[in-house]
Structure 1
């Protein structure tokens, strides 16, 4: 239920912001708004707006795929607000390095829930590393997707030039792993055991 609510709110806000530049400007992560006006809410609100419909669809589709499973996990571990706490923390944690690196850069902007979605996907991969994940239309084991995702994100983060915040993807993925293991340490040995038993999906 929480996953669907996050998707609904994000879709509504993003679609409205596509046609309302003022709303987009009020929610997007823009460093001067934090340093000058102390609008710290932007460390979360940037995840409610997206660059375009494709950006929004990909993030929300991925969130729907893994979010329902991880919502049950975090609810069982932390109570009714567990998944919301994880999601908001992922938004903040994934963007902080980019914000700190660009806090004096008035030309920098970042938006989209990709960092938080990466956190959810990697938390999911910890629980089910051999489950099937689709890379566009190509099915592959989740653990292989994770490896390709990290390699690609590191490469593109160093290369730059495509207006995608690959750093947020990487930090989000790290947060998903660290947070999940922190609240349930038994996840890690179970993950290692599963990895040692490859299977076809």
Structure 2
């Protein structure tokens, strides 16, 4: 496994585990609109390495484990870092934009960064198949759409501390950064480029019209 991918996964596990067992640490580094607007911008990055529980952490790290090697093999280490951290920041910025007047809004999770890697990988290799639960075959682009639908459910239910809005920003970040780094994809995979843009547009439309 690539050393950069290992380092990111290990960082997520260690920081999340610390947060599971240290409420002060968790509260100090989570995404919190009031604290960020008061000047604690570090939270926009640090919150991407905290998770609500082991299930949340496992879901994000498994998704990253499956899709990161595609981005690494096609774009290389530097572009992978750009996709991962660029998507994380995109996700945090969008979350802050949507919730800027909700000073008590809190969220955590690597979802923005992971969704960016997911979208990047699907753009790069749209015909790849996944084994869901290691058994059920599913086209990668279907998994990507399902992942964003899960984001809609989370935003509508509002019953957890997961940064679902960051999925939007992460998807946009991964999508745009990948096309900037490899613009030939627009010509090589035109249909997939359009298909992956559709759920992003729909999700933004739903958010803007208050249907989330």
Contact 2:116 2:175 in 1 (8 A): yes
> For residues 92-127 of structure 1, what are the alpha-carbon distances to aligned partners after superposition, in whole Å with 9 as ceiling and x for unaligned?
101212212222323210100011101101110011
- Name the structure 2 match of 1:144: 142
Identify if the C-alpha distance between structure 1 residues 154 and 18 changes in structure 2 by more than 3 Å, giving closer, same or farther.
Answer: closer
Given the two structures, how large is their TM-score scaled by the length of structure 2? 0.80
With 145-154 and 113-122 compared, the bigger mean Cα shift is at 145-154
Instruction: Judge conservation of contact 2:34–2:104 (CA < 8 Å) in 1.
Output: no
Q: Label 1:42 to 1:74 Cα distance change in 2 as closer, same or farther (>3 A).
A: farther
Other-structure match for 1:32: 34
Q: Pick from 91, 94, 101 the counterpart of residue 94 of structure 1.
A: 91
Q: Any idea what SS the aligned residue of 2:108 has?
A: coil
Cα–Cα, structure 1 residues 188 and 168, in superposed 2: closer, same or farther, change >3 Å?
A: same
Q: 1:190 to 1:20 in 2, by over 3 A?
A: same
Shift of 1:170: 2.3
- CA distance in structure 2 between the partners assigned to 1:105 and 1:138 by the alignment: 41
- Name 1:105's counterpart in structure 2: 102
Question: CA deviation digits over 1:138-162, x for unaligned, max 9?
Answer: 32111222333344544654x3334
SS at match of 2:138: strand
Query: Aligned residue pairs: how many?
Result: 189
For residues 10-29 of structure 1, the aligned pairs below 5 Å read 10-29=12-31
Superimposed CA distance per residue, residues 5-45 of structure 1 (whole angstroms, 9 cap, x where no aligned partner): 00011101111111011111121011121111x11111111
| Contact 1:27–1:42 (Cα < 8 Å) also in 2 | yes
Give the Cα–Cα distance (whole angstroms) in 2 for the partners of residues 187 and 51 of structure 1: 36
Distance in 1 of aligned mates of 2:34 and 2:176: 30
Contact 2:83–2:178 under 8 Å retained in 1? no
| Structure 1 counterpart SS, 2:25 | helix
**Farther off after superposition, 13-22 or 185-194:** 185-194
Compared CA separation, residues 189 and 150, structure 1 to 2 (3 A)? farther
Task: Give the match for residue 80 of structure 2.
Answer: 83
The equivalent of 1:120 in structure 2 is 117
Counterpart Cα distance in 1 of 2:99 and 2:192: 40
2: CA distance, partners of 1:32 / 1:193: 41
- How far has the Cα of 1:194 moved from its partner? 7.7
**3-state SS of 1:39 partner:** coil
Per the alignment, do residues 130 and 81 of structure 1 end up closer, same or farther by CA in structure 2, a change over 3 Å counting? closer
Which structure 2 segments of 5+ residues have no match? 194-212
